[in-house]
Structure 1
Amino acid sequence: PGLTPGASLLAGGYERFSSEYPEFCAKTKSLSNVSPPTSAEPLDLGCSSCGTPLHDQGGPVEILPFLYLGSAYHAARRDMLDPRGLTPLFSSDCPNHFEGHYQYKCIPVEDNHKADISSWFMEAIEYIDSVKECCGRVLVHCQAGISRSATICLAYLMMKQRVKLEEAFEFVKQRRSIISPNFSFMGQLLQFESQVLATSCAVEAVSPSGTLRERGKA
């Protein structure tokens, strides 16, 4: 009584059915055995009860030996900056807490679907390269270290390592799992990808390059 005509109850539930007829069941992949890369700095998920937002937990993560990614909270903690040798700080519209002690570079980009972050890509890439040439280390950050700063890091990898957005995204996500550029930024990165790959065809034809993981050591 109360059941819709034609409906039946599955004796033994899904577990019994899946064991007897696995071919009719969709399989899902488990990530329980996937370990983060040894170079990554895992977030302390157990700290959620202390009130610290997920994006502020842990510390700045190394993307390349001279390029780090983090949040505004990380940029305000000298105990996180100094041990890593992070003196130049590249930010997206965030306050400069230690004027005179660190070098600051800021681009006025908001995290919304109207912002044109791609117009700042080349300036950001040139700045990061200038830090690299001086054997320094730069922290690229925004408020949460999820969208704007991640977008800048992705653009840098795509341009300098000559890789597609998909490969760059996976590379960065392995190091800071919570990155999530907004939809508009992803679209701008895809447009940037087409520009980068178009200019790199001749270069790769002469000197084939390796994977991003191999080239990231340079």
Structure 2
Amino acid sequence: MAKGGDSSKGGDFQKHLAGGETTGQYLAQVLYNTKTDFKPLPGFTEKDDNTSSYRLQASVDCDEVCPNIYIGDAATAKNKKYLKMLGITHVLNTAEGKRFGFVDTDANYYKDTTMKYMGLPLADLPSTCINQYFHAAATFIEEAVSTGGKAFVHCMMGMSRSATCVLAYLMIKEQMLASKAIQTVRSNRDIHPNDGFLRQLAELDNQLRRQRL
């Protein structure tokens, strides 16, 4: 059961959570204590030792963090050849925009493919209210997985915004506790959601835990 200390917020109408409220500090500790098992780049094997394969591998950064769900960076998102090779059907850009720190792709960028696109204009700042997009992102990822497709979720580096949205999916649609979701994703990719995002994931965890009591 998630932990992190009791909370005095909310009054008597809130249902008591065994083990106390989940906190961002607790999730940060779970993140710190979970080590990443670095694996070969998805789509390649040890037999892929030709020059073109090495060049492609050097230009992309991507990991399959759970079955048919991938997290990666901006360069990978723009490499449509690689996404097609992986069989990606849905692309979720959690950093859509033209400013520094954002990724300037949109639905038009993928119009020459069959990939479905969703863009979220999120800044990687603790003050960003990423929670307003949790359910929309989760539904988009679920659509890919439930129809036999594959979702590629990215931001600029593939560490904070994208990881947070995948964690929300696992919590909302797969009914994982936040701690379990973090362990699942972090074991497959070196993710680093910022402190504000961890706090919002903790709040989501408490909401979902109460709903399931």
Q: TM-score range by the shorter chain?
A: 0.5 to 0.7
**Secondary structure, aligned partner of 1:86:** coil
1:95 pairs with 99, 104, 115, which one? 104
CA RMSD of aligned residues (A): 2.3
Q: What is the 5 A alignment of 1:147-186?
A: 147-177=160-190, 179-186=191-198
Equivalent runs, 1:65-104 vs 2, <5 Å = 65-92=67-94, 93=96, 94-96=103-105, 97-101=109-113, 102-104=115-117
CA contact (8 A) 2:142 2:173 kept: no
Q: Output the CA distance in 2 between the equivalents of 1:174 and 1:199.
A: 28
| Matching residue of 2:156 | 143
| Distance in structure 2 (CA, Å) of the matches to 1:152 and 1:200 | 21
User: What number of residue pairs does the alignment pair up?
Assistant: 153
Go from structure 1 to structure 2 and tell me whether the alpha carbon gap of 1:158 and 1:35 turns closer, same or farther (over 3 Å shift).
Answer: closer
Partner of 1:36: 37
Give how far 1:62 is off. 1.2
> Does the Cα contact within 8 Å between 1:163 and 1:197 map onto a contact in 2?
no
Between Structure 1 and Structure 2, the one with more helix by share is: 1
TM-score, normalised relative to structure 2: 0.65
| Cα distance change, pair 35–63 in 1 and its aligned pair in 2 (3 A) | closer
The answer to whether the Cα contact below 8 Å between 2:36 and 2:189 also exists between their aligned partners in 1 is no
1:199 aligns with 2:205: no
CA 1:57/1:195 → structure 2, altered by over 3 Å: closer, same or farther? farther
Residue 210 of structure 1: aligned partner: none
Contact map agreement 2:142 2:169 (CA 8 A) in 1 = no
Paired with 1:89 and 1:112, the residues of 2 have a C-alpha distance of 22
The letter for the 2-side match of 1:144 is M
CA–CA distance in 1 between the matches of 2:141 and 2:157? 20
1:134 matches 2:136:
no
Matched, 1:187 2:199: yes
Counterpart in 1 of 2:47? none
Q: Distance in 1 between matches of 2:59 and 2:202?
A: 30
CA distance in 2, matches of 1:118, 1:199: 17
- Judged with a 3 Å threshold, the aligned counterparts in structure 2 of structure 1 residues 143 and 35 are, in CA distance, closer, same or farther, namely closer
* TM score, norm. by length of structure 1: 0.64
Distance 1:98 1:162 in 2: 31
Asked if structure 2 preserves the Cα contact closer than 8 Å seen for 1:71 and 1:145, the reply is yes
Q: Which runs of 5+ in 1 are unaligned?
A: 1-33, 44-55, 202-218
The match for 1:124 among 137, 143, 148 is 137
Distance 1:68 1:200 in 2: 28
Relative contact order, higher structure (CA 8 A, sep 6+): 2
Q: Which runs of 5+ in 2 are unaligned?
A: 1-34, 43-57, 97-102
Conserved 8 A contact 2:91-2:153: yes
